[in-house]
Structure 1
Amino acid sequence: MSESDLLDSGIKVVGSNVRISESCTIMGAENVIIGNNVIIDAGVVFNCKTGSITIGNHVHVASGCYLSGAGTIALSDFSGLASGVRIYSASDDYMGETLTGPTVPEEFVGVTYAPVHLGKHVIIGSGTVVLPGCGIGEGSSVGALSLVTKALDSWGVFCGIPAKRLKDRSRKLLEFERLCTERAIG
């Protein structure tokens, strides 16, 4: 989309140097905040008619991602989602205590809302699913095809179903963040 298209899209806040593919679908654009230096690839869907999605600076959302921001979703600076990542901040009742689905009146459903926050430098591999309330701590990475069912600590490498910590993640990238920031200021 051109800068003019972005301004006319209804997105609440759009920073500078933002590139969003024309094939993206953004439902609830008035609930979306996008920082600077952001790329959102083809086929991405943001669904936040009742919640919000906030994207920090230097963030990449690869093709085919789906972010269900019925609650709230926040992607911090320097975070990234590989192709096909799914993030949910709300879930139907799977235990049978209530009815489910968008066609049922609200008083008969038991949707649970829980925010999802990705810390700075979080990277999530292709095909991973992040469930409501599962924040991912600063600097952590999640391998492809993982299922995040609980909050993940900072500076870890995680993968699997459910995602489990394998080892510590290097903090060397913080030096590159410092250099990148200095370059932008200078």
Structure 2
Amino acid sequence: MISSGYTVTKKKKTDYTQMLVPIAIILILGSIFIALFFLAPIQFLLYKPSGEWFFEPPKNAYYAFIGGILLVAAMLIGTAIVIYKDKMTKGMKGFITVGYLLSVLIFVLSLNQYHYANQSGIVINRFLSFEDEKYKWADITYAEEQAIVKNGMMSSGTLTLTFSNDKSYTFLLNENVRKAKIAMYYELEKQGIEVKRTQ
């Protein structure tokens, strides 16, 4: 009995491209949701102090986390293209490695960016810092709440605190911070600081 037929074998490079590109597309489409659902819980597990009135990543941390996800997606697509075209030179490997390492650095920096308040004062960890800035309530010299007006309706917008070292920091008055406003303003009042309200 004579049988004829053929088999089609796919090269590994094709397998890689078929796997990397869909993953990249998923990361691009889901980057905002991934940041919203994973950044705060990871920080909560890593850093959450006890006795805080609120603890959260600032808006910039979310932007950085999303940027890291998009960079990973871009590097996956780039890797797939390079593998598919057989252009994986030493220089290209180095470039791709640097891209992935940069994305990891962005993730670490965004995870390390947070702020919180408690009875002792304000603690801030900025984007390019690995050390907390700790301010007692007595270190605050000025406070300003800026309201946002939308469609004729006034709502809380931001709270900017200025410290004795002339540094300042702005909190977005979201739900978390608003819950702590009474306690924060009470501590400021104890220090003789009246919150200036502007719009």
Q: Which of structures 1 and 2 has the larger relative contact order (alpha carbons within 8 angstroms, sep 6+)?
A: 2
Instruction: Report which of the two has the higher share of strand.
Output: 1
Per the shorter chain, which TM-score range? under 0.3
TM-score when scaled to structure 1?
Answer: 0.27
TM-score when scaled to structure 2?
Answer: 0.26
